[in-house]
Structure 1
Amino acid sequence: MVTDTSQLVDADIITSSLDDPEKFATLFDRYAAMLYRYISFRLGSELTEDLVGETFLIAFRRRGSYDVSYLDARPWLLGIATKLIIRHRRAEVSRYRALRRQAPVQAVDGPEEAITRVLAAQGSRPVLLQALSRLPRGDRDVLLLIAWSDMTYQETARALNIPVGTVKSRLNRARRMVREAMGGINPLKEHTNG
């Protein structure tokens, strides 16, 4: 029986947690900070701790049905978190509107903070936040998973349980809408994400 799960891939940790539930904590150690950043950017810090905990609780309860052919559990966890965020959509849109009215906050290292820092320097932050609040939910989910969680098209498709083609079309539409709102400037680095 494996006692140290720190070197195992996520699928093996989930499998071993079926016999020893405490091993599931390794996934929390690996991904709680990532989920915290993702959820807090989308909804603010008020709900973040609760939703991170709820994400892991749902994942723990569903670990028996996890498809172990996927070695990386990030898309699965981000998919659960995104579905929880959808329940709090009004709070997310309100947060973007409130942030648009505020002065830029001090940036902290991380991908989403780096984007915010660049946008604040350009004075584009309010426009971007307004554009994000106006995106259709599905388009916003895809854009944020790819741009701020560094997910691939395939991982995003798996997280949202949609086809890869849908991910690509939603991302294209979201980027176009953000670019239009920004006056033709795309602050979210367009990268191909295979």
Structure 2
Amino acid sequence: MLWTLEPAEKDAYLAKESTKMFTKDNWVLVEIACTRSSLEFFRAKQAYQVGYKTSIEEDVAYHTSGGVRKLLVPLVSTFRYDGDEVNMMIAKSEAKILHEKMEAKDYNDGDLIRILTTRSKAQISATLNHFKNKFGTSITKYLKEDSDNEYVQLLKAVIKCLTYPEKYFEKVLRQAINKMGIN
């Protein structure tokens, strides 16, 4: 059936299925929200509303709780700027904020979530590159020590999907082939 749907309808269907059973092995919604252009994701959200008579935001809020909800609702609510322009002053400032949050292990902080859910992908990449250059390690390395935490795994997935989607999907595919990932 998925092969017969338009891309936006397919994304809407997959997002609906993902919201019903959102687990660490089923982050399709994150993958769609982070890897599609703003317009493609907007079209998927429109198809979702037409097909299911509700919004993705409503379903995410209903089916999740705690930190997961706090991260996912703004992630699926935003309409990101898709351009390549970057403000290096913002990148430097926000890299410092992210570093403070990583050091404090304050992964649910509003500023951290705001940066990841509202900034353009180019701006996030510039911020994370500055983070790595200034502090000597990538943000995902900070998260590695708490990788048993499902929320931290989700946060890493969001960061990887936004910055290096091909590497993220390569790992997901490798794990699926090795029977460790998606069923």
TM-score, normalization by structure 1: 0.26
Higher radius of gyration, 1 or 2: 1
TM-score, normalization by structure 2: 0.28
